[in-house]
Amino acid sequence: MILSGKKILLGITAGIAAYKTTYLVRLFIKAGAEVKVIMTPEAKQFVTPLSLSTLSKNEVISSFTEEENELWNNHVELGLWADYMLIAPATANTLSKMASGHSDNFLLATYLSAKCPVYFAPAMDLDMYKHPSTKSSIKKLESFGNTVIPVGSGELASGLHGEGRMAEPEEIVTFIENHLQQNAPLFNKKVLITAGPTYEAIDPVRFIGNHSSGKMGFALAEEAANQGAEVILISGPTSLGISNKAVKLIRVNSAEEMFTEADQYFSSIDVLIAAAAVSDYKPKKVADQKMKKSDATLTLALEKTTDILKTLGAKKTNQFLVGFALETENELEHAKGKLEKKNLDFIVLNSLNDKGAGFKTDTNKVKLISKNTIKDIPLQSKKEVAVEIINEIVARVL
C-alpha cells in the first residue's frame, strides 16, 4: 500500500539474477508504483530491455545518448524524478564503484545524482560476497544512508551453496514496504478525512449544494497515506478518485450520510481532518416528485443539518481534530470562534478574498490557527499545502 503512487527507479547490473527483475517490475506495478528502468550495457546479456520496457511501460535507458537519434538522457533529471531508487542485482563490481564514487556508466551517474532513498540488493557468488572488499563496500554504502536488502542463502550460479543470492522479488518488495512503513511518521495511525460538498435534496432532481471540488481533502488523504497512515476518506459528490490502496474511500451525498459514516469510525481513529464543505441547512421536506414550475417565486423551509465537527468535537477523547473554515469577512475572528466552539486542535483558514484560494482551484493559500499560534502557508498547489498541513499534524501528534 505504501508504494502506491510512488516513483521507483530500478537499476539493473550485469548479474545472472537480473532475470528476476521482470518479476520485480510487475510486483512494483501491482503495488501501484510507477517504474523506470536503467540497465548497465552488460546487463542486457541477462534480460532484455524490450521485456522491461513492456512491463514498466517506460523506455529502458542504458547510456547517456540514444544510438539512433543521439538524444541526451538526463541522469540528474531521473535522479530527481524518483521517490526511491533500487539497484538489483547489485554486483560486487557495482557495489565497489558506488562506494568509491566511480561513475563510468549511466546507472552510476544517476545513483550519484539521486536525492531519494537508495536500496540495493547484492547478488554474487559465495566467496565474492564474503570477501573483505565486498563487506567494506556494503558497510560504506550503509554509512552513506543507503539500505542493503539482505542476501538469501541457497544454490548459486557457480554450483556452490551459501550466501550471496539476491533476495527474491517478493522479498525485495516486502522489505521495502516494511522499511518504509516502520519509518513513516504516521505508521500505525488511523486518519479520518471528510472532503467535497454535500448535496441536500429538494426533490428527486434538485438539491442545495456548494462549489467544493474535494481537491483539498483528496490531496490530504493522499499525503496522509504517503506518510504511513491508514486513511478513511469520506467524500461528498465529486468526480475525483484515488488509487492509493492505503485509502478507503466512502462516497456519500448528504450531510446526514457524512455524519453517520464519520460517527461510525470516530472512536477508532487518531486524527480527524474535516475538510468537507458541509451544507449548514437542508430542506425541511423533500418532495417525492419533481416540483413543477408554477408561481413566480418559491419559498423553501430549511432546517439545520447536524454540525459534524461540533458533534464529534464534543465526543473527543484522545483524537486530534483539525477543522476548515472558509470565510469572506472577519476571517480570523470567525475561525478562532470555530476553533473554540468545536473543540479543535487547530483550524485551517481559507479566505475567498485571496486570489487562487478556495473552491475549484488547484492552488490554495491558508492559515493554520491554534490557540496560541498562527502559521501562514503561502499560495501553492493543494498537494503542497496538504504536505504542510500533514507535517503540522505530525509535529503535534508525535
Active site residues: 210
Instruction: Report the 3 state secondary structure along the chain.
Output: CCCCCCEEEEEECCCHHHHHHHHHHHHHHHCCCEEEEEECHHHHHCCCHHHHHHHHCCCCECCCECCCCCCECCHHHHHHHCCEEEEEEECHHHHHHHHHCCCCCHHHHHHHHCCCCEEEEECCCHHHHHCHHHHHHHHHHHHCCCEECCCEEEECCCCCEEEEECCCHHHHHHHHHHHHHHHCCCCCCEEEEEECECCEECCCCCEECCCCCCHHHHHHHHHHHHCCCEEEEEECCCCCCCCCCCEEEEECCCHHHHHHHHHHHHCCCCEEEECCECCCEEECCCCCCCCCCCCCCCCCCEEECCCHHHHHHHHCCCCEEEEEEEECCCHHHHHHHHHHHCCCCEEEEEECCCCCCCCCCCEEEEEEECCCCEEEEEEEEHHHHHHHHHHHHHHHHC
Cell numbers 505504501 label which residue? 2
